[in-house]
């Protein structure tokens, strides 16, 4: 009888533990945005940061949890925060892009972001989504499986990482980042190049006055670690390596992948990757390092290398470590091999098959161009004193509203904030990637406006994104808010509507929220428009977005209360 009672108690205790492990929770954080005095590259700076740190705090949740984030703005600037890659199902009011889903939080005010993370696991991140403040206002967002077990694909299905290491790659300027943006938008040219790249906020020993602050990660031999890599840099894709070590990519943008074996990564601004990393080398110290992938000819960029140290327990502390050999900055072949070689782990939880039929098709050109300076007397680009730099999608250069957020206009049916006439195709066909059209004034002068593409709830959308050679070719990391998309195919040159669809992967395409459209090439994506609201889509290069390489989707409400966007919270900031 006693043994039976003990067994029953143990069973009840086990069931209670299971219930605790599987029940969703409310995870609450307070984030204070304010000034931080910090020293980098031999100089003392005052930056905008969160909770007095760079990067800001890591937010750690489980799938199904509800996040309640109280944001207090004690900085001198307007602020919003975006939860990059979170689907925000029926919580578009918490998405964060300024003037799209909310007006900014003005200084000395606050706003509480409330949203539930459903059907997502892996590594995402959060950052400011106004001006260029995301240069220093960012942090990791880690979403763990509710069961606590990582559903990695075979042969890693039962691997439990010994430890997890978040790695946030960033970019640093020796100047006030808001003033820098104001200067380049006023003058009509581009921004000044950054002064360093960073790993978890530190440039590393190859930069001046940075050796002592460089991060050192102590690891044990013959263990498996999970590296969570985020590219929070402003304007550069980055190559990443650890000397003499290999990786297994197991997730991208919080979506599980089939194992991809590599010794080098390329990661675009906005993207994240989860890697299994085995400490199977001799006991020693090894540098991790990142440097830019910048394929645009004659384009100036910060050609530096940021470092941190992986040090095996027992390594000789007097040794400096082994440095990896990174690809050269214009190695498009290496970059494309990785970005094109990933496929989805279709047996993972939350995987949904790629839609096989399409309701809406779009062809969107991504271009750099020029617009009239208008009343600004000192505006000047290399085209002359009458023009400033601009960027566009289908010859439409996006302008953010200022009187009311687009989402409020959608919800309250307010006219005049935006129009629903974003074109499905460019205004004219041309040889998109040929230099023969370079500086053709008919093509490089876009229309400015606030235009969206209206979609029916539940429709399937397929988009060809085509880089152009107008002014210059570029590798554009395109980020879509509100949903992930399937990457069906990528390639170089002009998209061929007859032969390129034969390359489509409709079985296990990679799923992302940010895709680096190849320089002088194209990418085809497909997604299901099942999340009502207004969702921003933009280039994640912080030069191109304020130039206008943006657009938005208006997704109609569905037919039921559970498919209809709820009203805004009472504390939603007003313009």
For 330-346, write each residue's pLDDT tens digit: 999 999 999 999 999 99
Question: Encoding tokens for residue 521?
Answer: 């090439």
Cα radius of gyration rounded to whole Å, the chain: 24
Domains and CATH numbers, the chain: 25-145 (2.60.40.420), 148-343 (2.60.40.420), 360-563 (2.60.40.420)
Count of CB atoms situated within 10 Å of the CB of 493: 16
**Residue 72 predicted with pLDDT over 90:** yes
Residue 182: in which H helix or E strand, if any?
A: helix 177-187
d(CA 354, CA 506): 6
Beta strands (DSSP E) in 105-243 are: 110-116, 122-128, 138-144, 163-172, 196-199, 216-219, 224-231, 237-242
Residue 2 pLDDT: 39
Mean pLDDT of the chain: 92
**Residue 240 predicted with pLDDT over 90:** yes
Residue 189 pLDDT: 77
* Straight-line distance from the first to the last Cα atom of the chain, in angstroms, rounded to the nearest whole number: 70
Give the contacts of 515 (CB within 8 A, at least 6 positions apart). 339, 465, 477, 478, 485, 487, 490, 523, 525
Count of CB atoms situated within 10 Å of the CB of 216: 11
Question: Encoding tokens for residue 80?
Answer: 């919003």
Main-chain dihedrals φ then ψ at residue 187, nearest 5 degrees: -75, -25
Confidence of residue 301 (pLDDT cuts 50, 70, 90): confident
Residue 18 pLDDT: 43
Give the contacts of 362 (CB within 8 A, at least 6 positions apart). 424, 425, 453, 461, 462, 463, 464
Highest mean pLDDT range out of 18-32, 258-272, 384-398? 258-272
Residue 383 pLDDT: 62
d(CA 77, CA 133): 9
Q: What percent of the chain has pLDDT over 90?
A: 84
**Residue 6 predicted with pLDDT over 70:** no
Question: Encoding tokens for residue 24?
Answer: 């969703």
Sign of the alpha-carbon torsion through 335, 338, 341, 342 = negative
Highest mean pLDDT range out of 136-145, 173-182, 189-198, 439-448? 136-145
Residue 12 pLDDT: 37
d(CA 348, CA 256): 7
Residue 299 pLDDT: 76
Question: Encoding tokens for residue 202?
Answer: 């530190």
**Averaged pLDDT for residues 524-530:** 98
Residue 187 pLDDT: 80
Q: What percent of the chain has pLDDT over 70?
A: 94
Question: Encoding tokens for residue 244?
Answer: 């003499």
Confidence of residue 375 (pLDDT cuts 50, 70, 90): low
Residue 385 pLDDT: 58
Residue 371 pLDDT: 86
Residue 146 pLDDT: 93
Confidence of residue 4 (pLDDT cuts 50, 70, 90): very low
**Residue 185 predicted with pLDDT over 90:** no
Torsion angle (degrees, nearest 10) of CA 186, 192, 196, 200: 20
Residue 381 pLDDT: 61
Confidence of residue 49 (pLDDT cuts 50, 70, 90): very high
Confidence of residue 36 (pLDDT cuts 50, 70, 90): very high
Identify the weakest region by mean pLDDT among 95-99, 169-173, 382-386, 505-509.
382-386
SS3 readout for 285-326: EEEEEEEEECCCCCCCCCCCCEEEEEEECCCCCCCCCECCCC
Tens digits of per-residue pLDDT, 540-556? 999 999 999 999 999 99
Three-state secondary structure call for residue 544: helix
Residue 23 pLDDT: 78
Confidence of residue 8 (pLDDT cuts 50, 70, 90): very low
Question: Encoding tokens for residue 344?
Answer: 């989805």
Q: Do residues 358 and 351 touch, judged by C-beta distance below 8 A? A: no
**Residue 377 predicted with pLDDT over 60:** no
Question: 131 or 555, which is more confident?
Answer: 555
Residue 378 pLDDT: 63
Confidence of residue 42 (pLDDT cuts 50, 70, 90): very high
Residue 331: in which H helix or E strand, if any?
A: none
**Residue 10 predicted with pLDDT over 80:** no
Residue 3 pLDDT: 39
Question: Encoding tokens for residue 75?
Answer: 């900085």
d(CA 454, CA 85): 21
**Averaged pLDDT for residues 521-534:** 98
Residue 177 pLDDT: 93
Confidence of residue 142 (pLDDT cuts 50, 70, 90): very high
d(CA 316, CA 4): 56
**Averaged pLDDT for residues 37-58:** 97
Identify the weakest region by mean pLDDT among 76-85, 103-112, 291-300, 396-405.
291-300
Q: Do residues 83 and 123 touch, judged by C-beta distance below 8 A? A: no
Residue 380 pLDDT: 66
**Residue 504 predicted with pLDDT over 70:** yes
Confidence of residue 183 (pLDDT cuts 50, 70, 90): confident
DSSP lists the bridge partners of residue 219 as 312
Residue 386 pLDDT: 67
């Amino acid at each position: 009888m006693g043994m039976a009672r003990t067994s029953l108690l143990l069973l009840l205790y086990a069931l209670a533990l299971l219930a605790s492990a599987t029940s969703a929770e409310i995870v609450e954080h307070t984030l204070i945005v304010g000034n931080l005095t910090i020293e980098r590259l031999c100089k003392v700076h005052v930056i905008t940061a969160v909770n007095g740190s760079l990067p800001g705090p890591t937010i750690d949740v489980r799938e199904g949890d509800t996040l309640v984030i109280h944001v207090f703005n004690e900085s001198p600037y307007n602020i919003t925060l975006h939860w990059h890659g979170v689907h925000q199902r029926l919580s578009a009011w918490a998405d964060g892009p300024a003037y799209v889903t909310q007006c900014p939080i003005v200084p000395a005010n606050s706003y509480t972001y409330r949203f539930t993370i459903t059907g997502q696991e892996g590594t995402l991140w959060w950052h400011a989504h106004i001006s260029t403040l995301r240069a220093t206002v960012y942090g990791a967002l880690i979403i763990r499986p509710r069961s606590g077990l990582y559903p990695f694909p075979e042969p890693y299905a039962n691997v439990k990482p010994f430890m997890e290491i978040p790695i946030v790659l960033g970019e640093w300027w020796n100047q006030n980042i808001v003033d820098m943006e104001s200067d380049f938008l006023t003058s009509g040219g581009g921004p000044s190049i950054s002064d360093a790249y960073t790993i978890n906020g530190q440039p590393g020993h190859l930069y001046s006055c940075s050796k002592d602050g460089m991060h050192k990660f102590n690891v044990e031999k013959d263990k498996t670690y999970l590296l969570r890599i985020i590219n929070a840099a402003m304007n550069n894709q980055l190559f990443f390596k650890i000397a003499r070590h290999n990786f297994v990519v197991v997730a991208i943008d919080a979506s599980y992948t089939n194992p991809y074996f590599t010794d080098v990564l390329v990661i675009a601004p906005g993207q994240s990757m989860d890697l299994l990393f085995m400490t199977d080398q001799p006991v020693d110290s090894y540098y991790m390092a990142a440097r830019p992938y910048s394929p645009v000819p004659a384009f100036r960029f910060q050609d530096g290398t940021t470092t941190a140290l992986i040090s095996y327990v027992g390594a000789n502390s007097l040794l400096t470590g082994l440095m990896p050999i990174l690809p050269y900055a214009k190695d498009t072949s290496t970059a494309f091999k990785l970005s094109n070689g990933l496929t989805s782990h279709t047996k993972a939880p939350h995987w949904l098959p790629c839609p096989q039929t399409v309701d809406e098709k779009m062809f969107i050109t991504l271009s750099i161009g020029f617009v009239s300076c208008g009343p600004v007397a000192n505006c000047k680009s290399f085209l002359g004193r009458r023009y400033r730099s601009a960027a566009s999608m289908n010859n439409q250069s996006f302008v953010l509203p200022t009187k009311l957020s687009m989402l409020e206009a959608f919800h309250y049916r307010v006219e005049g904030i935006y129009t629903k006439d974003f074109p499905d195709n460019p205004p004219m066909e041309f040889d998109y990637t040929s230099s023969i059209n370079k500086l053709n004034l008919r093509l490089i002068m876009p229309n400015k406006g606030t235009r969206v593409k209206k979609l029916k709830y539940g429709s399937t959308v397929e988009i060809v994104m085509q880089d152009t050679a107008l002014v210059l070719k570029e590798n554009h990391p395109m980020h879509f808010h509100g949903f992930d998309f399937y990457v069906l195919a990528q390639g170089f040159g002009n998209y061929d509507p007859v032969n390129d669809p034969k390359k489509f992967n409709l079985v296990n395409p990679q799923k992302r929220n940010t895709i680096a459209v190849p320089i002088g090439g194209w990418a085809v994506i497909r997604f299901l428009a099942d999340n009502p609201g207004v969702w921003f889509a933009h280039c994640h290069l912080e030069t191109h977005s304020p130039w206008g390489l943006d657009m938005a989707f208006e997704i109609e409400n569905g037919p039921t209360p559970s498919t209809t966007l709820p009203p805004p919270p009472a504390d939603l900031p007003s313009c």
